[in-house]
Chain A
């Protein structure tokens, strides 16, 4: 068990390191001098050179990479070129919107998908199965930002139940803040839930064909007991895999959805930074999202070990 954990951890770290090199070098080859950009076209060459030195841009590539990477461990992502404030401050301001949004939609989609998948598998071939799988087929096909537009039209424009966009901030109180996140979370969660429900159903049906299900039935265990106690746990392995992958999609989704609802989250930040050529902010946010994806996939790997004893004893 310990060796499995250590191995997964090492792999995660190596992936992180490789990802950091990719992010750093991709943005390194971008044309344009940040110092020139910050000071504007009219700045004197001396002023630009001075700023370059101040930003550390005159150091060799490898040094800049190492200091950039080292900064991550103390949450120092450098200073924004446009706002001249630490990137970490910008991120901290925005992450309080994006992270709750991603977590709420992940919980929402899991809470919808797994019961639906279980229900459909238990009634396979019956009307309930056909209806829920037909709906999920639609759900998979709906782009979340379009779904978001419909939700805005129905609940904000027409019914006026929630605001159409914007975020009052957590300081405005829990309820107004949550109200602003409800539609974005639903818009993100439903298409993901549709995929997850289909995967759950499929995994369950596959497990239900296994020999050990027959053994459990031959033991006299009723069908429902077998489904809950024998099949579900075995079916969780593929479901967990998809859940891990979905987190990446959810993060990507937040970037788009925040634009639909004008939420001041990381997604908005990254787009602003791109238009302002504020590369150090782009770097910081991209790296943060990549870290999140890798950490979640690491957690998924670890949860396999909880579900599956075969992994626990493997070295």
Chain B
């Protein structure tokens, strides 16, 4: 029973130091940092202005002037990818925020109360799970029209039950512990116990799940933009770039290559980061490797 969730006692610093000894964490960290850096820089500077259409420069293959070539409007692909990173990260981050912000309290509440509240919340989870993010996006788009905000909401809604489930599972394995009984014998109520004892002990789980959902969010955003339900032109986004590339693939395959690589490397980086974290935080898993 007590093995279900192993608990580490180390300080944040020592965890970080150990994490950097894990190869997947280091690779993941570097990849994620590069993407985040690109997105950050794009706010102040990009090699070319992505809002300017220079028709004379259209469909240039990769060269020293345009590293990743240009698209059918003559926009620089590298600059587009930089700005697209911003969009991807923003959508995924807010979606994870929505999922965590609503899902974790719900999950903790369900675990603390048990009984019919728990049952109802879990049934509610089943309901949301029945609508994959894309379906919710389709419905939301049908009402409000396409846009980046709607993509965020659709992905965020699907994240809520994910985090609720993880938080509830983690909390349920903490609640039967004796230190919870000791806290109750000290007169502490469910709310205080959840804040003081449960949340710190499931933070690991949530962090790891957070990186996974972040990665999935980037994939989902790219998918939505690709079918036209996400960010709308002229806002550059990786999925939209791939859509534009598709019809021109025979003449300019490089158009499809670079945005795809950007997605793969970002998602790969986040997944490796999560893997490295869970290796470091969960000694039980570490033992098995």
Contacts and interface: CB of A to CB of B under 8 A. Distances in A.
Contact of A149 (B139, B142, B256, B268): B256
Interface residues of B, number: 44
Nearest to A285: B138
Contact of A248 (B132, B228, B267, B287): B132
B134 A256 contact: yes
B147 interface: no
B130 A153 contact: no
B129 A248 contact: yes
A208 B284 CA distance: 12
B139 A141 contact: no
Interface residues of A, number: 51
B226 A252 contact: no
B213 interface: no
A125 interface: yes
A59 B5 CA distance: 55
A180 interface: no
A185 interface: no
Given A149-B245, A153-B256, A19 B143 contact: no
B227 interface: yes
Nearest to A247: B132
Interface of A is mostly: helix
B253 A153 contact: yes
9 contacts: A11-B123, A15-B130, A19-B130, A141-B264, A145-B242, A146-B263, A252-B132, A260-B246, A274-B141
Interface of B: 123, 126-127, 129-135, 138-139, 141-143, 215, 219, 222-223, 226-228, 239, 242, 245-246, 249-250, 253, 256, 259-260, 263-265, 267-268, 271-272, 275, 284, 287-289
Given A26-B142, A270-B138, 20 more contacts: A15-B126, A15-B127, A18-B127, A26-B139, A27-B139, A27-B143, A138-B264, A140-B267, A145-B223, A145-B242, A149-B260, A153-B256, A205-B288, A208-B288, A245-B129, A248-B130, A259-B227, A271-B227, A274-B141, A290-B131
